[in-house]
């Protein structure tokens, strides 16, 4: 019988250290977004709609890494605050494409600046070349796990 490999020491495990980085980033984003009265999923929705207006609930959920049900709640909350607008009825199928309102654009701009400051702090120790390498390496890791090589 072949010997089964186990995870190495946690401080040498890429997955564990990556999860630590993700948790630290999430915590810093939560703190940065609090003065803007936004959660990370709400901010993610605004950012996605700023960059890709007209996304559906399902597309937003995938982009924000939440379930469709959770995104539906996020969208309803953002609509109630007049940051997002969706048609009452779908033109085609069941999709209700969302767009930012002028108020949503203003909230997105302030929140995006706060999140950008967090990211700048996170990557400050890295040179430009190391940042590019990190992006390539993380993308390669994602592709390896998802099978999208």
CA dist 91 and 56 (Å) reads 12
Alpha-carbon span 102 to 85, nearest angstrom: 10
Q: What pLDDT is recorded for position 6?
A: 80
In the prediction, which pLDDT does 3 show?
67
pTM above the 0.75 mark? Answer: yes
| Cα 50 from Cα 56, distance rounded (Å) | 13
pLDDT of 106 reads: 97
The pLDDT, as a whole number, for residue 1 is 47
Task: Given CATH 1.10.1270.20, say whether it is the number of domain 25-143.
Answer: no
Average pLDDT over residues 1-23: 84
Per-residue pLDDT, 148: 79
Q: What share of the chain is helix, strand, coil (3-state, %, to 5)?
A: 65, 5, 30
Report residue 132 as tokens: 């590019």
Question: What's the burial of 29, exposed, middle or buried (CB within 10 Å: 0-12/13-18/19+)?
Answer: buried
pLDDT, tens digit, 9 for 90 and up, residues 81-138 = 999 998 776 566 566 789 999 999 999 999 999 999 999 999 999 999 999 999 999 9
Q: pLDDT tens across 41-85, in order?
A: 999 999 999 999 999 899 999 999 999 999 999 999 999 999 999
Q: Where are the domains of the chain?
A: 25-143
- Residue 36 DSSP one-character state: G
């Amino acid at each position: 019988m072949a010997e089964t490999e186990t995870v190495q020491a946690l401080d040498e495990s890429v997955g564990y250290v990556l999860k630590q980085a993700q948790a630290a980033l999430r915590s810093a984003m939560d703190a940065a977004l609090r003065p803007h009265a936004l959660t990370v999923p709400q901010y993610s929705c605004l950012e996605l709609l700023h960059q890709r207006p007209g996304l559906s609930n399902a597309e937003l959920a995938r982009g924000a890494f939440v379930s469709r049900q959770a995104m539906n709640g996020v969208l309803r909350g953002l609509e109630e605050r007049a940051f997002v607008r969706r048609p009452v009825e779908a033109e085609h199928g069941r999709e209700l494409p969302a767009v930012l309102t002028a108020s949503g654009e203003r909230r997105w701009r302030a929140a995006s600046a706060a999140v950008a400051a967090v990211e700048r702090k996170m990557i400050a120790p890295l040179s430009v070349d190391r940042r590019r390498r990190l992006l390539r390496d993380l993308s390669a890791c994602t592709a390896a796990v998802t099978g999208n090589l």
